[in-house]
C-alpha cells in the first residue's frame, strides 16, 4: 500500500495511517468495555435495586476508573507516536486490564472461565497499540507485546478471582488480523519501491519527449500566428490542429475576444486568423486595419459565405476570406500561400509528400509493430499515446522507437529527431 506516494514518503504515511486507525479503534473498544460494565453493574438480576446491586454498581465504577488512564494514554498516543508513550500505554493498559477483569470476574455475573467478550475488549485495545517507528517488523513487535501483556493480565486476574483462564478466540483473531495487515502493507510497499523508479523514469522520459517535440516544432516554425474566435470549442479545436499538424506555424495567441488579442504580449503576430463576427461591438474593418497597421497578415473566417462581409474584410486589408466549413488543410494552405511559404519544404502532417524512391538497400526492414509505431509517431502521437493505441507497455513502445532509429541509423539515414523520422516515414511510404 504505497497510496501512490513517492517511496521516501509512502512508508511513513502508511505506517502512520495504520497506527492512527488502530488507536481510535482501541479507544472505541475501551469505551465499549466501560459501557458494558456499567450496564451490567447498575442493575441486579431481578431488575430492582438492592444491596447486592449497590455493590455491583461500585464494582462497575471501579472497573470504569481502571479503564480511564488507559483511554487517556491511548488518546495521547494517537496524537503523538513515541516509544515512551507506547511503553507507558502498554504498562498502564496491562494494569488497567487486570483490575478491570478482576473486578468483573469477582462482582459480575458468575462465569466458569475468562473466555468472555467483555473481557476481550481491553485486550484487543492493547493489541492495537500501533507503537512508534516505521516498518512491519516494528509494528508486529508492538502488537505481539500488547497481545502477550493482555493475556498475562487476564491470566493473573483469573487466578486472583479463582476463575479458570481460557484464551479467547476473539483476541487471538484480532491479533492475527493486525499482524496480517502489517505484513501485507510491508509486502505492497516493497513492490511499490521496486516499481516506482521505473514509473518515475517513464514519466520523466515522456516529459522529455514532449518537451523535445515542442522544441522541434518551435524550431521548425516560420510563422508566429494568432487565433481570434469567441467560440471556445472551435478555438480549442483549431489550436490543437495547428499545433499538431502545421509545424511551420507557431501558435502563440489563442484569444476569445478582441481585447484579449491586442493586449497579449505576443501581439502583433505574423499572421492572425480571426472570426468575422464577435460579440464585441468592433467592426471587422477596424479589427483588420488595426492588425495590418501593426504588421500582421489577416485571414478572416466566417460561418457564412456572404458577399457583403467578404467585401468589407478584403477592402479593409484582409489577405483572404474563408468559410469555417472549409477543412483545416485548406485553411492552412491559404495561410501558407498568403505568408509566402513553400508547402513542399514545410508540409503539415495531412499534406506529407508521397513516397520518394529510395535505394532498397537503404530502406531498413521494419517489423509490423515497428512500422505501426513509426506511422503513429509521425502523426504526432507521444510514446505514451502510442503504447495506449497499440495496447502495449510504455517500455515496449519506447523499445520499438529505439529500434527504428537504430535501423535507420545503420542505413545512414538521419533519425534522431521527430522531424527526421517524419521524413523517413514519408520517403518509405508509411504515410500514404
- The tens digit of pLDDT for each residue in 192-202 reads 555 555 556 66
Are both 188 and 242 inside the same structural domain? no
Q: 305 CB contacts (<8 Å, ≥6 apart)?
A: 323
CA 274 – CA 251 distance, rounded (Å):
13
pLDDT at residue 100, as a whole number: 80
Are both 51 and 97 inside the same structural domain? yes
Confidence of residue 349 (pLDDT cuts 50, 70, 90): very low
CA 311 – CA 428 distance, rounded (Å):
46
Are both 314 and 260 inside the same structural domain? yes
The whole-number average pLDDT for the span 129-147 is 73
Better-scored residue on pLDDT, 426 or 167: 167
Which residue, 336, 426, 379, 7, is CA-closest to 196? Answer: 7
Whether the predicted pLDDT of 294 surpasses 80: no
Q: 374 CB contacts (<8 Å, ≥6 apart)?
A: 366, 404, 421, 424, 425, 430
The whole-number average pLDDT for the span 307-329 is 89
Which residue, 351, 367, 359, 377, is CA-closest to 432? Answer: 351
Residue 124 grid coordinates = 484487543
Residue 232 grid coordinates = 471556445
Q: 100 CB contacts (<8 Å, ≥6 apart)?
A: 33, 37, 63, 66, 67, 119, 122
Confidence of residue 235 (pLDDT cuts 50, 70, 90): confident
Which residue, 243, 303, 294, is CA-closest to 276? Answer: 303
- Is 40 inside a domain boundary? yes
pLDDT at residue 9, as a whole number: 46
Better-scored residue on pLDDT, 209 or 268: 268
Q: Are 380 and 349 in contact (CB under 8 A)?
A: yes
Q: Are 421 and 212 in contact (CB under 8 A)?
A: no
Are both 340 and 364 inside the same structural domain? no
Whether the predicted pLDDT of 418 surpasses 80: no
% of residues, the chain, pLDDT over 70: 70
Most confident of 97-101, 106-110, 214-218: 97-101
Contacts of 186-191 spanning 24+ positions with Cβ under 8 A? 186/135, 186/136, 186/137, 188/1, 188/2, 189/1, 189/2, 189/10, 189/11, 189/14
Are both 299 and 182 inside the same structural domain? no
The whole-number average pLDDT for the span 244-261 is 83
Are both 69 and 43 inside the same structural domain? yes
Residue 25 grid coordinates = 479503534
**Exposure of 234 by Cβ count < 10 A (0-12 exposed, 13-18 middle, 19+ buried)?**
middle
- Is 213 inside a domain boundary? no
Are both 340 and 369 inside the same structural domain? no
Confidence of residue 300 (pLDDT cuts 50, 70, 90): very high
Better-scored residue on pLDDT, 418 or 131: 418
The whole-number average pLDDT for the span 226-240 is 86
Are both 247 and 115 inside the same structural domain? no
Are both 165 and 17 inside the same structural domain? yes
Residue 131 grid coordinates = 507503537
Residue 137 domain boundaries: 10-194
Q: What is the Rg, in whole angstroms, of the alpha carbon atoms belonging to the chain? A: 38
- Is 212 inside a domain boundary? no
pLDDT per position as a tens digit, 204-216:
767 766 666 665 5
CA 168 – CA 166 distance, rounded (Å):
6
- Is 5 inside a domain boundary? no
Confidence of residue 412 (pLDDT cuts 50, 70, 90): confident
Whether the predicted pLDDT of 309 surpasses 60: yes
Are both 29 and 142 inside the same structural domain? yes
- Is 3 inside a domain boundary? no
CA 170 – CA 176 distance, rounded (Å):
10
The whole-number average pLDDT for the span 320-325 is 88
pLDDT at residue 299, as a whole number: 92
Most confident of 71-85, 174-188, 275-289: 275-289
DSSP output for 355-371: PPP--GGGS----HHHH
- Is 246 inside a domain boundary? yes
CATH number for the domain spanning 319: value is 3.40.50.2300
pLDDT per position as a tens digit, 61-73:
666 677 778 778 8
CA 208 – CA 300 distance, rounded (Å):
37
CATH number for the domain spanning 386: value is 1.10.10.10
- Is 300 inside a domain boundary? yes
Of the listed ranges 60-74, 131-145, 273-287, 344-358, the least confidently predicted one is 344-358
Whether the predicted pLDDT of 269 surpasses 60: yes
pLDDT at residue 50, as a whole number: 52
Of the listed ranges 52-66, 164-178, 293-307, 409-423, the least confidently predicted one is 52-66
pLDDT at residue 57, as a whole number: 54
CA 106 – CA 160 distance, rounded (Å):
9
Whether the predicted pLDDT of 252 surpasses 70: yes
pLDDT at residue 298, as a whole number: 92
Q: Are 204 and 211 in contact (CB under 8 A)?
A: no
Are both 38 and 138 inside the same structural domain? yes
Where do the DSSP E strands lie in 247-359?
A: 249-255, 271-275, 297-302, 320-323
Whether the predicted pLDDT of 60 surpasses 70: no
CA 130 – CA 143 distance, rounded (Å):
7
pLDDT at residue 345, as a whole number: 43
pLDDT at residue 321, as a whole number: 92
Are both 308 and 420 inside the same structural domain? no
- Is 237 inside a domain boundary? yes
The pLDDT mean for the chain works out to 75
Task: Name the domain boundary from 344, 379, 396.
Answer: 344
**Exposure of 261 by Cβ count < 10 A (0-12 exposed, 13-18 middle, 19+ buried)?**
buried
Of the listed ranges 105-114, 219-228, 344-353, the least confidently predicted one is 344-353
Whether the predicted pLDDT of 382 surpasses 60: yes
- How many folded domains does the chain comprise? 3
% of residues, the chain, pLDDT over 90: 3
Task: Name the domain boundary from 344, 373, 388.
Answer: 344
Task: Name the domain boundary from 286, 309, 344.
Answer: 344
Amino acid at each position: 500500500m504505497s497510496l501512490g506516494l513517492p517511496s521516501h514518503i509512502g512508508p511513513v504515511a502508511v505506517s502512520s495511517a495504520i497506527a492512527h486507525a488502530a488507536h481510535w479503534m482501541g479507544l472505541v473498544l475501551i469505551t465499549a468495555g466501560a459501557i458494558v460494565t456499567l450496564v451490567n453493574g447498575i442493575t441486579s438480576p431481578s431488575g430492582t435495586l438492592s444491596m447486592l446491586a449497590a455493590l455491583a454498581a461500585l464494582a462497575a465504577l471501579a472497573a470504569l476508573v481502571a479503564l480511564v488512564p488507559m483511554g487517556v494514554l491511548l488518546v495521547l498516543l494517537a496524537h503523538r507516536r513515541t516509544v515512551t508513550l507506547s511503553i507507558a500505554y502498554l504498562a498502564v493498559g496491562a494494569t488497567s486490564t487486570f483490575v478491570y477483569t478482576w473486578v468483573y470476574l469477582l462482582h459480575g455475573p458468575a462465569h466458569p472461565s475468562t473466555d468472555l467478550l467483555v473481557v476481550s475488549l481491553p485486550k484487543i485495545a492493547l493489541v492495537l497499540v500501533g507503537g512508534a517507528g516505521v516498518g512491519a517488523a516494528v509494528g508486529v513487535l508492538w502488537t505481539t507485546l500488547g497481545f502477550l501483556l493482555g493475556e498475562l493480565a487476564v491470566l493473573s486476574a483469573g487466578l486472583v478471582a479463582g476463575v479458570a483462564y481460557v484464551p479467547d478466540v476473539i483476541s487471538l483473531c484480532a491479533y492475527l488480523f493486525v499482524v496480517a495487515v502489517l505484513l501485507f502493507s510491508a509486502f505492497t510497499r516493497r513492490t511499490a519501491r521496486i516499481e516506482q523508479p521505473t514509473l518515475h523514469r517513464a514519466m520523466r522520459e515522456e516529459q522529455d519527449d514532449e518537451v523535445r517535440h515542442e522544441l522541434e516544432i518551435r524550431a521548425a516554425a516560420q510563422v508566429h500566428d494568432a487565433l481570434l474566435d469567441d467560440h471556445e470549442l472551435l478555438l480549442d479545436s483549431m489550436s490543437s490542429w495547428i499545433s499538431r499538424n502545421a509545424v511551420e506555424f507557431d501558435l502563440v495567441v489563442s484569444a476569445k475576444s478582441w481585447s484579449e488579442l491586442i493586449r497579449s504580449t505576443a501581439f502583433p503576430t505574423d499572421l492572425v486568423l480571426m472570426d468575422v463576427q464577435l460579440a464585441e461591438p468592433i467592426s471587422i474593418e477596424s479589427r483588420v486595419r488595426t492588425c495590418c497597421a501593426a504588421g500582421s497578415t489577416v485571414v478572416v473566417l466566417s460561418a457564412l459565405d456572404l458577399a457583403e462581409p467578404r467585401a468589407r474584410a478584403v477592402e479593409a486589408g484582409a489577405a483572404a476570406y474563408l468559410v469555417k466549413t472549409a477543412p483545416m488543410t485548406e485553411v492552412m494552405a491559404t495561410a501558407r500561400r498568403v505568408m509566402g511559404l513553400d508547402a513542399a519544404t514545410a508540409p503539415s502532417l495531412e499534406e506529407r509528400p508521397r513516397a520518394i524512391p529510395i535505394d532498397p538497400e537503404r530502406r531498413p526492414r521494419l517489423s509490423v509493430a515497428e512500422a505501426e509505431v513509426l506511422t503513429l509517431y509521425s502523426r504526432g502521437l507521444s510514446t505514451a499515446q502510442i503504447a495506449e493505441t497499440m495496447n502495449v507497455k510504455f517500455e515496449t513502445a519506447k523499445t520499438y522507437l529505439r529500434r527504428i532509429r537504430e535501423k535507420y541509423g545503420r542505413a545512414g539515414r538521419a533519425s534522431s529527431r521527430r522531424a527526421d523520422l517524419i521524413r523517413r516515414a514519408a520517403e518509405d511510404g508509411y504515410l500514404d
